[in-house]
Structure 1
Amino acid sequence: MKINVGNMSFSTNDEELRDLFSAFGTVASVEVVTDSNTNRSRGFGFVVMPDESEGNAAIRSLNGSEFAGRKLRVNEIKPSE
């Protein structure tokens, strides 16, 4: 399950995002999207969790929750058809 995480603090890094989602299960990969010129976070990222039930639990718990001073927007990325 691929998860979009928006409205993150610009100081959030891959390790912090992985730690946040690891509380809900196995995290296969994490990517905080960064600006290519400044190497600073652009405020969003992606998390892949192989177990759908763990991913859904993370989405339910983390969407709207505060992390590093910001209310996260967390939702599943549906595959394009």
Structure 2
Amino acid sequence: MASRSIHRIFVGNLPWTVSRRELKEYFSQFGYVASALVIFNKDTGMSRGYGFVNFAKREGYISATKQDGHVLEGSVIRVQPTNNS
């Protein structure tokens, strides 16, 4: 049975100015990003400071999670695996 794995990472401590586009652009250096999502507060419309990135291939996921010290728009962001891809 063939199934498609999702190679997803959690990204925390995002600056409030980061959108889905910036998140996808930043993580594209590690591999093809299938999708990126920034979580927003439904009441205020402001970023909640975290999001998720889905890589098309395991290699991008591994590269992103193995690198120390991610910095986006001047802020150190936290990157954590969400599965055992």
The answer to whether the aligner puts 1:67 opposite 2:72 as a matched pair is yes
- Segments of structure 2 that go 5 or more residues without pairing to the other structure are 1-6
TM-score by length of 2: 0.83
Q: Among 28, 38, 46, which residue is 2:44 paired with? A: 38
RMSD, aligned α-carbons: 1.4
Bigger proportion of residues as helix? 1
Bigger proportion of residues as strand? 2
**CA distance in structure 1 between the partners assigned to 2:9 and 2:19 by the alignment:** 16
Contact 2:70 2:79 in 1 (8 A): no
Report the alpha carbon displacement of residue 38 of structure 1 after superposing the two structures with TM. Answer: 1.6
Aligned residues: 78
TM-score by length of 1: 0.86
Q: Secondary structure at the match of 1:12?
A: coil
- Segments of structure 1 that go 5 or more residues without pairing to the other structure are none
Percent identity, aligned pairs only, is: 33
- Structure-2 residue corresponding to 1:55: 61
Report the alpha carbon displacement of residue 71 of structure 1 after superposing the two structures with TM. Answer: 1.0
Higher Rg: 2
Query: Which amino acid letter does the alignment assign opposite residue 50 of structure 1?
Result: A
**CA distance in structure 2 between the partners assigned to 1:64 and 1:45 by the alignment:** 17
